[in-house]
Amino acid sequence: MLNKAQIQDLIPHRDPFLWLDEVVEVDEQKIHARKHLDPSIWVFQGHYPDFPVLPGVIQCEMCFQASAVLIAPIQPVEDGKVPVVARANKVKFRRMVRPGDTVEIYAEITDRLKDTFYLTGKIMVGDDLAMRCDFASTAAKPR
């Protein structure tokens, strides 16, 4: 299990855009992380203030960040490189994610080609699938 400080040791994301509170379980192929969505977080103030919903792109970002933690021990980010998403496919939203929800975040490596990792991610709220996607991640050097 990793706490927020340990997560920040592995990836460059920081508040207010760090979307992982803890890593529940991780091995060489998959990760299970968690985020509690406090109703007071900034995104709910403007994304339908009268009916707050977590944007789908944030749900995707949760999987992307979890994958960065998963990949970090396999391919440490060097020379100032940062983990980036190269593509996302087959994104499907099945359930709204709302303030107060605790989100279970999963990512699993399905293939690897040199420095590019192919993954499947999903977001669960309780027993309900909220989002699923396939994506690729690699490390890029900022300009």
Segment 115-124, tens digit of pLDDT: 899 999 999 9
Q: Where are the domains of the chain?
A: 4-140
Phi (first) and psi of residue 123, to 5 degrees: -120, 130
Q: Is 13 a catalytic residue?
A: no
| 80 pLDDT more than 90 | no
Give the whole-angstrom CA distance, residue 35 versus residue 109: 21
Q: Is 3.10.129.10 the CATH classification of the domain at 4-140? A: yes
Structure tokens at 64: 């992307």
Torsion of CA 110, 114, 116, 121, to 10 degrees: 20
What pLDDT is stored for residue 115 in this prediction? 87
Catalytic residue among 13, 32, 36, 47: 47
Instruction: Count the residues in the chain.
Output: 143
Q: Are 64 and 12 in contact (CB under 8 A)?
A: no
Q: For all residues of the chain together, what is the average pLDDT?
A: 95
What pLDDT is stored for residue 77 in this prediction? 65
What pLDDT is stored for residue 96 in this prediction? 98
pTM, two decimal places? 0.95
